[in-house]
Structure 1
């Protein structure tokens, strides 16, 4: 499967389309994502516009799950059943990290997602395994993952005031570094 954001002028043909994040029919579309299969089937996922800060956007595939980080939300779309789960973030979406990218087995999580202050861990079925808040106020980065812990940093004093943190890989519990909001 492939996944990517579409350009505004892209007029590709899709076998199915799905609107996510709309609280009413006819909602404006902020972004569109294309998911393709080897059998030439293509799904267009339209992300409804919302009043939120849009600093970063990213997409990831894990099995049949499409992860879309946009504005202050994470959309998890099952591309087979078209089930959608939305996670509201505290502030803006920042970045996705997948287990393979972090060179970990994927047993504790398959996808990590960061916001301006939080880190979310998602399992193989797209379920939220854990969420850790108060890791920063203007960005959270993950540097490495071991079988026991996640090392990263959160920006507490922009620009450049990054503080390290260490979280338990399995639970997201803070086990060292940094400080929680005062």
Structure 2
């Protein structure tokens, strides 16, 4: 899927309607980013900038977006906000496996269904970044940054629970 995030200039006057994907509670937030996917324009409103990473994925009609300190799910067919998931310090990345989303932040991984159910969260995997390297069978292999800039430690988690494999 091709997409573009862009921050509007201060004097930006959006000539066409954008669909707000960050939920009604975000309408009063002062910061705005737009996401353009083909001909569709989506708006993300947020409180404060907190991280440089951003990514969008489309799974069937579900738009999954990681941006700043949050992860969002939005149903594009129903034009309905599903979830805003606050993350620890910043959004890291989104991964997909078996129809589920795995979202990393500064210290852990969240497992979320397309319906917005958080299946599990493990926030004890790092202090300044978590990466998933691969999924193998019912396990997730990754690493967490514990002592920047080179203190990465590997981990293996059960996909069903997020608990470390012993």
- TM-score bracket, normalised by the shorter chain, equals 0.7 to 0.9
Q: Structure 1 stretches of 5 or more lacking a match?
A: 37-41, 100-105, 177-182
Runs of 4+, deviation exceeding 6 Å:
9-13
Q: 2:162 aligned with 1:164, yes or no? A: no
| Partner deviation per Cα, 1:2-60 (whole Å, 9 max, x = no partner) | 54324647999767522525646454343111234xxxxx4322111312412311111
Deviation at 1:135, TM superposition (A): 0.5
Greater mean deviation of Cα atoms: 140-149 or 2-11: 2-11
Structure 1 pair 24–90 and aligned structure 2 pair: CA distance change class (3 A): closer
Corresponding residue to 1:69 among 66, 71, 79: 66
Residue 37 of structure 2: aligned partner: 35
CA distance in 2, matches of 1:162, 1:66: 31
Aligned mates of 1:24, 1:150 — CA distance in 2:
33
Q: 1:113 to 1:164 in 2, by over 3 A?
A: same
Cα separation, partners in 2 of 1:30 and 1:131, compared to 1, 3 Å: same
Q: Residues 20 and 45 of structure 1 are in contact (CA less than 8 Å); yes or no, is this contact kept in structure 2? A: no
CA deviations on 1:47-89 (whole Å, 9 max, x unpaired) are: 1131241231111111111111111100111112222210001
Q: What TM-score do the two structures reach when normalised by structure 1?
A: 0.76
Identify if the C-alpha distance between structure 1 residues 164 and 20 changes in structure 2 by more than 3 Å, giving closer, same or farther.
same
The one of 150, 153, 159 equivalent to 2:143 is: 153
Which runs of 5 or more structure 2 residues have no equivalent in the other structure? none
Give per-residue Cα distances to partners, 1:119-165, cap 9 Å, x unaligned.
Answer: 01223434322211111000001111112211111000001101111
TM-score, with structure 2 as normaliser:
0.83
